Structure 1
Amino acid sequence: MLVRQLRSAEGAEAESLDADLNEACALLSKNILRAHDLIKSFKQLSVGQLTDRRVQVDVTSVVRDCIDSLSPELRAKKIEVTITATAGEELTWDGFPGHLSQVLINLFQNSVRYAYPDVQGGKIDVRVERVVDTRGVFLRIAVRDHGPGVAPAVRKRLFQPFVTTGIGQGGTGLGLAIVHNIVVNVLRGRIGLEDPEGGGSRFVIELPAVVPPRDDEASSEA
């Protein structure tokens, strides 16, 4: 009888130890993946790590490709994305669509994560247009959600690294810093945040219709 009780106690202890080891391994794996994501994000913050090929492309097609690539995630969250572009308007862009795709995907994922965190269903509106003013010719892309908006305390530092309201939601605080870096330093454009009428947030990107040559392009041509 006593031997049977000892064996039972040893078995329970072994099961408890096994459960603790499994939990520790799962936590370690999760932290390794998070470290991998952080390192990847740091690399993306460095302009020197960004490579892409210059092509002429319709900006609207780049937007559609990004939406298609995110369609499983958007369907799962029941997020509807609409694109508005003036019919017949010249929307050809001479630039780096790979970089622009990275920017747009970051913005779409940002809307899904923060504008609609606890709800099933929502809207993201994208407007693409050509702008001509005293500065030259630009392509403007506006990405708007209909969520709660961005708190004033956060928006002042929104494009700085490690600024996030997504603690516990998988946010690293590097997504919008990467977006700003690509738009400004690679695509030679600008990006800002607006508070649209009716609520939500609207990120507005303006890109020169022809992105100026980069240093690495000039050296390769030479």
Structure 2
Amino acid sequence: MTPDDLVALLRDHWPQTLGALAPDSREELTAVLQSLVDATDPQAVQAAVRRLRRLLRVLPDEHPVTLALRDGVRFAGTAETQVADRTPLLALLATLHGPPPADPARARLLAAPSLAAADVGAAPDDPGLIRLRHPELGYRYPLFQFQAGTARPLPVVSRINRLLMAGRDPWGAASWWLGGNRWLGGAPAELLGSVPDEELTRAVRELVEGDH
């Protein structure tokens, strides 16, 4: 994978990449991309690419950049071909000087009512809870997960979140709860309390078992 390939990969998944990085990692990303822009010889380019790949290791296992780096050919090439095109790099850097670009799917999930980590009546990293990283507000916990008027997690939500592997894929789990479900006839989060817990659990088991 050449430097140009790596930059193109980031460009194609830029909103998802920024959304998955902590603020300090975003600052480091700015510095690394700037060093790649400023690199004037193949050795400097290779050093910047190595730094960039190390930084990207913090992305979730299911992230498209992670998957592409895992499956792609390791960075290689002759000295004459290791200088990246700076135009797309400058475009990416320009976005880093402002707010992260919007990812419509994630923006919709973040718009749902939620609690801050300090207000959650459970361990903030509980694998039975969905926590979504907001670019400005930090971690947010969708409100449907909790008993009405409290910060106590609903047992059925905790069980289903574990089936959905919310600890590894919180965005996917949130999408299941907040998106339409033809089998259930609506968004599962809106059906809590009106549809039997067993039916909700059966719906997600059908999904999980169908993926294997």
Q: Structure 2 length as normaliser, TM-score?
A: 0.26
Structure 1 or 2, whichever has the larger Rg, is 1
Q: Structure 1 length as normaliser, TM-score?
A: 0.25
More strand by share: 1
